[in-house]
């Protein structure tokens, strides 16, 4: 597996983990507040959107300029 493919896989894994973390805080706020993680909810949502934007940018713009 090349480095660019690893980058795509790692990015997809990061998006899934962050989205799962946000969904856990959204649908189970009692558990999240008990663990003290509820304050991270807006940051997790924002990070997920930023990672999605970066993923689209990487696939559309950056992948065209990378040497195979």
| Alpha-carbon distances of 22 from 3, 6, 16, rounded to whole Å | 28, 24, 10
Question: pTM for the full model?
Answer: 0.83
List of residues 6+ apart from 9 with CB closer than 8 A: 1
Tens-digit pLDDT profile for the chain (68 aa)? 788 889 999 999 999 999 999 999 999 999 999 999 999 999 999 999 999 999 999 988 877 776 65
């Amino acid at each position: 597996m090349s480095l660019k493919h690893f980058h795509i896989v790692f990015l997809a894994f990061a998006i899934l983990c962050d989205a799962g973390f946000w969904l856990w805080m959204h649908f189970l706020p009692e558990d999240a507040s008990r663990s003290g993680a509820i304050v991270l909810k807006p940051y997790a949502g924002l990070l997920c959107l930023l990672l999605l934007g970066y993923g689209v940018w990487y696939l559309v713009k950056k992948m065209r300029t990378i040497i195979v």
